[in-house]
Amino acid sequence: MEARQEIEHLREKIRHHDYRYYVLDDPEISDREYDSLMAALKDLEARHPELVTPDSPTQRVGAEPVSGFLAVRHGRPMLSLDNTYTFDELRAWTGRVRKGLGEGEEISYVVEWKLDGVSVNLTYEDGGLVRGALRGDGEKGEDVTTNLRTVRAIPLKLRGSGHKGLIEVRGEIFMSLADFTGMNKERVQNGAPAFANPRNATAGTLKTLDPRIVAERRLLFYAHSLGEAARDTFITHEAYLKQLGGWGVPVNPQTKICADIESAIGRCQEMQERRDRLDYEVDGMVIKVNDRAQQRRLGQTLKSPRWAIAYKFPAHQATTTVQKIVVNVGRTGVLTPVAELEPVPCAGVVISNATLHNFDEMERLGIKVGDRVVIERAGDVIPKVVKVVTSVRSGGEEAFVRPRTCPKCGGRIEKEKEEEVAFRCVNPLCPAQLERKVLHFASRSAMDIEGMGEAIVAQLVARKMIKDVGDIYRLKTQGLLKLDLVKDKKAAQLMEGIKASKKRPLSRLIFALGIRHVGEKAALVLAEHFGTMDRLRAAAPAELAAIHEIGEVMARSLDDFFHHRAGRDLVEKLRDKGVSMRQPARRGGASFLTGKTFVFTGELEDLARGRAEAMVREAGGAVSLSVSKKTSFVVVGADPGSKYDKAKKLGVPILNKKDFLKKVGGA
């Protein structure tokens, strides 16, 4: 292929992938593959400069803005960063920096997390936020001011002084992994398609036309760069970041100043090992020359600054083979396809299963049994299939046919609404649903019945010893001893757990019932508002909907449950067996925790994060995702993340699991 044709072919491929990434938020290739295409094009154009055209991807910053919002021009272009993947490449970049500045100059570097979020440009005039825009094509981007004003991490007015005139603050909008996982779980339960990753969810959120949805999703923000500024007096990038903190603009606390490139490389190595402890996604580190006079002397190419570069971490991706596709049935009857994989190491663990979310997502992927697939794992997020490698198909792959009936009970499946993507089994006696309902009821965040795990529950359902969760309280020691692998000690432990669960507060029972749309927090709100099960059951939908954090959808779901015969009968069965139907008044520890804020980091042995957070709320406290001077306590478990470091730096009291349980009084 002659050079002209090869160059045009590469340009078209890059434009295609730009469109998939920036416009559709649905990339087909990894960042590294994209960078390889761009590097190949740059190399060809360098060898044939007569073929360079103004519309080449190498001569512009990015892609066209997404339609639907008014496009606004940035005061100064938002450049992208060149990427490196090895420390030798970082050293080579430093050599170019030294050559540009001249030998003998001292150069220090700022090393920051490279957040995998959505870049935004915030324009302040005399300290007030007047506009917020997405990066767009680097020159202009979509005006999403109304949406960004709902992001609590973004100050509407800067604190202090020194911000007269116009200043552009640039940074990254992102979503915590905990919020992302919870949101996707709720979306799937409600029949909505799951987002592929936190960045996709963040981008979709910022481009919604309803700011109320943006406000509900608790987006986060860290500033990292300076755009146009009427009074640019910052000597170093470090000084700028410190000033942002003084103005009330959040800056990532893990940012560090390094005296030389070897220290910067050491920092990259250190942070690469810590990336999986974070509650948000990062894909590398950004290294910047600290001195801003040196930055100006180094200047920029048309696309990127010469004084900054990104070191990209190895991707948490792996390639493997789909051995089988199975369909799981959840406690609400939702059918979820799962790929059983040839085991493969990825992100420090061996992956043998990956979610396919729903049948629409399977159709989009075009996945077949026997396919080679790319899987991805970020932190504790469930592994997912992100791409099918169709180029290596042999023809022996088998298409998957969506089941027409429930794969567990043979019952009818249907969508509640045509626009939904989730299919549900409508058989109320489906054993798979019953197993999941019992496991949920007995889970630590619900009734916390010690010893009632999957193996026990599967046998109880299969032997028809329980037909609903109320039958748990009819179990006898003699019956349990007939189960496989259950001896005297195990049976006694389980019976003691069942007995203890009767004393759980009403909030735990409401959550345990598995009422659609009602999570732990809503259950606590309802329990504290009504105090007793009888008062809750008697509440009209309008009264329920008027409660803060409940709303019409949840109110309808509650009303349906309590006015359906099965729901009424279940509550009465539980009452007859002595299960508490009251929310106890907050005890002695409650007055101490009222107004106190807790932050959790690391794994608490034998204590689920959701349960620990519920204990705080039940005792009158609040839970936050970030550490500040106003944080009352940081609870630290195994492998804590950056929140632990920040707590020590700020002098926030730190609790281990034992201290925490004492503090909440065993709530």
Query: pLDDT tens digit string along 526-577?
Result: 998 899 999 999 999 889 988 877 878 888 889 888 988 888 899 999 999 9
Q: Does pLDDT of 667 surpass 50?
A: no
pLDDT band at residue 348 under the 50/70/90 scheme: low
pLDDT, position 155:
86
Which among 114, 140, 408, 657 is annotated as catalytic? 114
Q: What is the pLDDT of residues 487-514, one digit of tens each?
A: 888 899 999 999 999 999 999 999 999 8
The per-residue pLDDT of the chain, averaged, comes to: 85
Residue count of the chain, please give it: 667
> Do 588 and 510 touch, CB atoms closer than 8 A?
no
8 to each of 30, 47, 165, 234, 316, how far by Cα in Å? 21, 14, 45, 43, 32
* Paired tokens of 279: 């509650």
pLDDT, position 657:
87
Domains and CATH numbers, the chain: 3-59 (1.10.287.610), 71-312 (3.30.470.30), 317-404 (2.40.50.140), 431-576 (1.10.150.20), 588-663 (3.40.50.10190)
Rg (CA), the chain: 28
* Paired tokens of 514: 């598995």
The 3-class secondary structure across 499-521, one letter per residue, is: HHHCCCCHHHHHHHCCCCCCCHH
Strand partners, 131: 123
Main-chain phi, psi angles of 509, to 5 degrees: -65, -45
Mean local confidence (pLDDT), 266-273: 89
Q: What is the pLDDT of residues 199-235, one digit of tens each?
A: 888 988 888 877 778 878 889 999 999 999 888 889 9
Higher-confidence residue: 314 or 108? 108
* Paired tokens of 287: 């290294």
Is residue 114 annotated as part of the catalytic site, yes or no?
yes
Read out DSSP for 361-422?
Answer: HHHHHT-EET-EEEEE--TTSPPEEEEE-GGG--S--EE----SB-TTT--BEE-SSTT---
pLDDT, position 30:
66
pLDDT, position 438:
92
Higher-confidence residue: 419 or 486? 486
Strand partners, 347: none
SS3 335: strand
* Paired tokens of 79: 């450049």
Q: What is the pLDDT of residues 619-630, one digit of tens each?
A: 777 777 778 887
SS3 545: helix
Q: What is the pLDDT of residues 365-421, one digit of tens each?
A: 999 999 999 888 755 457 888 889 888 899 999 999 999 999 988 888 888 665 567
Higher-confidence residue: 569 or 71? 569
The rounded distance, in Å, linking the Cα atoms of 140 and 328 is 46
pLDDT, position 64:
46
**How far apart are the two ends of the chain, measured CA to CA in Å?**
72
Percent of the chain with pLDDT over 70: 91
pLDDT, position 59:
62
* Paired tokens of 90: 């970082």
599, 602, 604, 607 alpha-carbon torsion, rounded to 10°: 70
Mean local confidence (pLDDT), 251-278: 89
Helix 261-274 vs helix 87-101: crossing angle, to nearest 10: 150
325, 329, 330, 334 alpha-carbon torsion, rounded to 10°: 90
Q: Which residues, 6 or more positions from 433, have their beta carbon under 8 angstroms from its beta carbon? A: 329, 330, 331, 332, 333, 408, 425, 427
Burial of 462: CB neighbours in 10 Å, binned 0-12, 13-18, 19+: exposed
> Do 250 and 222 touch, CB atoms closer than 8 A?
yes
The rounded distance, in Å, linking the Cα atoms of 614 and 86 is 44
Task: Label the pairing between strands 398-399 and 368-369.
Answer: antiparallel
Mean local confidence (pLDDT), 262-281: 87
* Paired tokens of 211: 């700011």
Q: Does pLDDT of 131 surpass 50?
A: yes
The rounded distance, in Å, linking the Cα atoms of 291 and 239 is 10
The rounded distance, in Å, linking the Cα atoms of 452 and 454 is 7
> Which residue, among 49, 66, 53, has the nearest Cα to 12 in the 3D structure?
53
The rounded distance, in Å, linking the Cα atoms of 85 and 639 is 26
Q: What is the pLDDT of residues 305-318, one digit of tens each?
A: 999 999 988 767 78
- Which residues in 443-452 are b (16+ Cβ under 10 Å) and which e? bbbbbbbebb
Q: Does pLDDT of 60 surpass 70?
A: no
> Do 319 and 30 touch, CB atoms closer than 8 A?
no
Q: Is 564 left (phi over 0), alpha (psi -120 to 50) or beta?
A: beta
SS3 265: helix
145 to each of 150, 151, 483, 517, how far by Cα in Å? 9, 10, 61, 30
The rounded distance, in Å, linking the Cα atoms of 129 and 120 is 13
Burial of 306: CB neighbours in 10 Å, binned 0-12, 13-18, 19+: middle
> Which residue, among 608, 621, 509, 493, has the nearest Cα to 561 in the 3D structure?
509
Percent of the chain with pLDDT over 90: 34
Mean local confidence (pLDDT), 190-197: 70
Higher-confidence residue: 144 or 188? 144
pLDDT, position 31:
65
Q: Which region among 19-23, 210-214, 484-488 has the lowest average model confidence (pLDDT)?
A: 19-23
Q: Give the Cα-Cα-Cα angle 80, 84, 87 (nearest 5 degrees).
A: 145
The rounded distance, in Å, linking the Cα atoms of 521 and 617 is 8
> Which residue, among 393, 399, 390, has the nearest Cα to 369 in the 3D structure?
399
Global pTM?
0.52
